[in-house]
Amino acid sequence: MDEHEHKHSFSEHIFEYRTVEKKKLTLSLIITVIVMIVEIVGGILSHSIALISDAGHMFTHAFAITISLVAIVIACRPPCHHRTFGLYRAEILAAFINGLFLLAVGALIIYEAIERIINPQNVLALDMFVIALIGLAVNIASIIILHGSHRRNLNIKGVFYHMIADAASSVGIVAAAIIIYYTKWNIIDPLVSIGISVIIVFWAWGILRESAKILLEMAPTGLNVDIVIRDLKQRFPQIRQLEHAHLWTITADMLVFSAHMLLDDKNQTAEAQNQLLSEINSYLSEKYHIIESTIQTLCEGDAGTCPLSPESEKT
């Protein structure tokens, strides 16, 4: 398969995968909005700040899913002369915005919970219990819908992990409702709310950190350019040195690599060097999922490049 066919095949695969993601996110968004409305109404009626805070968490998910859906639509636009890598980074920008929004929501809920501790109110525990159970059921449904897709996309990963946090917070609200029902300890409600907020901030920080690494063109977690260089030199003994090497991420599932490669034997034929480059590119693609690698070949003792055809500098 030549370079054009490889990129075309990869683009088609990405488009098909994003289409599946879009359907899953749309279904999850519908479920989330319905339960968010139910929890807001239920929280007001039962005077439960914990239930309202969980509805706030639901709203952050609805916001995150909406941004993710918009980003997927933008990212599916094909590359052109002024956006040669396409607009895949739109998904990363969406994840970063979602992380910032989550931090703000977490801080607001903590503030409201502290206010409730200072000025306590009676909580209708039974209503709180029933509505929290509904929220838990919906969170579990969303987790099942998004399971699997979260491993390959930062947007889906953010929503998926937040759904897990939501499920945990729903369990906490159910437990708080039971305790309040039997003990009348209304302070349990804002304390659970603060616990939910801590979860929100924790996940927000993780998404911000991961998306910022991609926006700053850093190597992905668990991989760096030294690892790739060392592996290539062991795998291909013809390589004397790799210099000016760069490894960066376009989006969560798209890595790019470039380097200057110095060969041991300057008398290698152009055909042999082209074959070596082809093998290196295939190896990088298969082992590290690097979709594009650009390697400029130099000969030992030469200041210029080896006499290769133009195609030898491309994947």
CATH number, domain containing residue 262: 3.30.70.1350
Confidence band for 232, pLDDT divided at 50, 70 and 90:
very high
Asked if residue 220 is part of any domain, the answer here is: no
User: Rounded distance, CA 17 to CA 176, Å?
Assistant: 40
Q: What is this structure's pTM?
A: 0.66
Asked if residue 27 is part of any domain, the answer here is: yes
The sign of the CA dihedral 227, 228, 231, 237 is: negative
Based on the domain organization, do 178 and 249 belong to the same domain?
Answer: no
Q: What is the pLDDT of residue 231?
A: 92
CATH of the domain at 53: 1.20.1510.10
Tokens of 50: 């914990």
Q: What is the pLDDT of residue 314?
A: 47
Based on the domain organization, do 92 and 234 belong to the same domain?
Answer: no
Q: What is the pLDDT of residue 154?
A: 64
Q: What is the pLDDT of residue 65?
A: 78
Domain that holds residue 248: 225-313
**Structure-model confidence comparison of residues 85 and 66, the more confident one:** 66
Q: What is the pLDDT of residue 311?
A: 42
- In the chain, the number of structural domains is 2
The mean-pLDDT minimum among 47-61, 132-146, 182-196, 272-286 falls in: 47-61
Q: What is the pLDDT of residue 308?
A: 45
User: Rounded distance, CA 296 to CA 259, Å?
Assistant: 6
Confidence band for 265, pLDDT divided at 50, 70 and 90:
low
Average pLDDT over the chain, rounded to an integer: 76
- 66, with CB counted inside 10 A (0-12, 13-18, 19+), is middle
